[in-house]
Amino acid sequence: MTAVELLLALLALLDFASGLKLTMLRVPSQKLRSSDVTLKCFYDLQNGTLYSVQWYKDNSVFYRFVPADTPSGQMFPLPGVTVDLKGSNDNQVILRLLDLDSSGTYRCEVSSEAPEFLTEVAEAHMNVMALPKDPPKITGLRQKYNEGDPINLNCTSAPSKPLAVLYWFINGNQVDNFDISQRRIIPTGKDSKDGPFLTQYRSVTDEEGLEYVTLGLRLAAKKKFFNNLLHTMKIRCTSSMGVLMWHVDLSTHIHAVSAASLTSCFLQTVWLLSAFSYLFAHKFCANLL
């Protein structure tokens, strides 16, 4: 056999070996719990004959399509996988009512008949997400604070999967002084003893497998944190998760009353009103305490 003949023979073998090709695998990276999903697997037999299409989740087969069988499609029980046989075929498999156990690596395996006996495989990972049913909750809040009082708050996310990420905001500015990589608190501002400080608590897993977490906020009720004449500070906690960017805000206002503001209120009221109103002014300002 000449060199040219050998080269042509090798090219023929390469062309023969490429008789089956997977052209597309479609597995969404994220889906919501209780939703349905259609997994797609397209192939080109290139004049070959299909023997079977098999779907696996984490190396366990859950659906098989064999044209020569009756019925052609068969399902195999697997936790987290509920196959809609009527809507499934050699190019797609429909899964109903996804749950947390549906997360995993999905693989499509296509095989051709004799004489090729070729097999092509492709896989992708899918995560099933459970969004929080409620907004985050702020606890530890008092209706009013005197100048210098400690403010200790906790924000707790609603159970979800994956775990939500919490953020605190003061007057619209994010408090981001928690160094996750070093797991330590870093005070901000010139007067570090006033805060704000963040405390990241360990996450908790409930009986459904969902997770929730608490992020603490600590600061002193100082004038620099209050942004108007009414001594009001706006606190907001935001929860977000995953690439879906699902988030919810919860706002509240803290009213601070300092000794200086009480004295100012008392003197101004006395100056404006008569001696009879002196007692009223005293009582009015005392109610601020």
d(CA 114, CA 117) in angstroms, rounded, equals: 5
d(CA 15, CA 19) in angstroms, rounded, equals: 7
Radius of gyration of the CA atoms of the chain, in A: 33
Asked whether the CA dihedral 7, 13, 16, 20 is positive or negative, the reply is negative
Identify the segments of the chain with pLDDT beneath 70: 1-18, 177-192, 227-230, 242-252, 256-289
What global pTM score does this model have?
0.69
Q: Is 127 helix (H, G, I), strand (E, B) or coil?
A: strand
Per-residue model confidence (pLDDT) at position 231: 72
Helix axes 277-286, 259-272, angle to 10 degrees: 160
Question: pLDDT tens across 122-160, in order?
Answer: 999 999 999 988 889 999 988 788 888 899 999 999 999
Per-residue model confidence (pLDDT) at position 251: 59
Per-residue model confidence (pLDDT) at position 243: 57
Per-residue model confidence (pLDDT) at position 254: 73
β partners of residue 52: 111
β partners of residue 121: 109
Per-residue model confidence (pLDDT) at position 145: 84
Q: Which helix or strand (DSSP H or E) is residue 4 part of?
A: helix 3-17
CB within 8 Å of 78: residues ≥ 6 apart: 57, 60, 62
CA dist 266 to 135, 254, 271, 281, Å? 41, 22, 9, 6
| Structural tokens at position 280 | 């009223």
